[in-house]
Amino acid sequence: MADNIKEKLLKESIDAAKASENGAEYADREDEVIEEENVSADTKDPDKAEAHDEIDESPEEQEAVKDSEEQDKEDDKGSDEGKAKAKDKKGFFGKKDKKDKRDEQIKDLNDRLLRNLAEFDNFRKRTEREKAQMFEIGAKSIIEKILPTIDNFERAITSVPEELKGNAYCEGVDKIYKQLMSNLEEAGVKPIEALGAKFDPNLHNAVMHEENEEFGEDTVSAELQKGYTYHDSVIRHSMVKVAN
C-alpha cells in the first residue's frame, strides 16, 4: 500500500515537471514569433525602420549622419556645377572655334566663287569684243579688195558715150553696179559725202587746192576718188580738191 502511494506521488511530480518544461518552451517560442513579426513589420515600413534606427542611435551619431548627408549633397552640387562649367567651356572653346572656321571657309569659298564669276564675265566680254574686232578687220580687208572693182564700174559708167547710154549692155552694167552698192550698204558699207561738204581731215584726203569763188572757205570742190566707211569706221578716205 505504501509503495503504491509512493509510485503515484512520483508519477505526479514527473508529470508536473514535464508540464513546467513545456510551458517554458512554449513561452520562449511565443517570444521568438513576436520578435520576428516586429522585424518583418519594420522591414515593410521604411519610416518605422528608420525611426527604430534613430531611436537606437545617439544624438551625436545622428548629427554626424546629418552632416555627412549635407556634405554629400554639397559634393554632388559642386560636381554638377563643375560638369556644367566644363561643358560651357568646351562649347566656348571647341564648338565656337569649329563654327568660326566653317564660317571663314564659307566666306573664302564665296569670295573665290565671286572672283571666278567676275573673271569669267570679263573673259566672255573680252572674247566677244575680240571676235567682233576680228570680224570687222576681216570685213574691212575684203571690202578694201572690192573697192577697186567698184571704182572701175564707176569709170566704165561715166565713160559711156551719150549715144550708147540706152544700150542694153550699158544698162546691164549699171544695174550690176547698183546691185553691188545695195548689197554693200546692207552690210554696213556707205560712201562718204564729199562734194560741197566742209573739209574734214578725218574723212577727206586733200590732194589739191584751188581758189574758187563759187565755194566757201575750206569746201570740197571736187571728188577725185570716192571714200567709204564701214560701221562708222573709215575704210578709205575720199581723195578731194579743196577750194579757198
C-alpha cell at 237: 578716205
Q: What are the Cα distances from residue 120, in Å, to 3, 110, 124, 128?
A: 144, 15, 6, 12
Q: 199: which DSSP letter?
A: P
State in words which class domain 190-244 has. Answer: mainly beta
Burial (Cβ within 10 Å: 0-12, 13-18, ≥19) of residue 177: middle
Q: What's the chain's average pLDDT?
A: 75
- Tell me if residue 9 falls in helix, strand or coil: helix
How, if at all, do strands 219-225 and 238-243 pair?
A: antiparallel
> Can you tell me the distance from the alpha carbon of 169 to that of 210, in angstroms, rounded to the nearest whole number?
38
CB-based contacts of 144: which residues, under 8 Å, 6+ apart? Answer: 235, 236
Q: Is residue 116 pLDDT above 90, yes or no?
A: yes
Query: What pLDDT digit, counting tens, does each position of 136-175 carry?
Result: 888 888 999 999 999 998 888 888 888 888 888 888 888 9
Mean pLDDT across 29-47: 50
C-alpha cell at 244: 579757198
Query: What pLDDT digit, counting tens, does each position of 88-114 carry?
Result: 555 554 555 667 888 888 989 999 999
For residues 149, 154, 158, 164, the Cα torsion angle rounded to the nearest 10 degrees is 70
> Can you tell me the distance from the alpha carbon of 214 to that of 52, in angstroms, rounded to the nearest whole number?
145
Alpha helix (H) ranges present in the chain?
2-44, 46-56, 59-90, 96-158, 168-186
Taking residue 74's Cβ as centre, other Cβ atoms within 10 Å add up to 10
Going from N- to C-terminal start, the domains of the chain cover: 190-244
| pTM over the 0.75 mark | no
Burial (Cβ within 10 Å: 0-12, 13-18, ≥19) of residue 221: buried
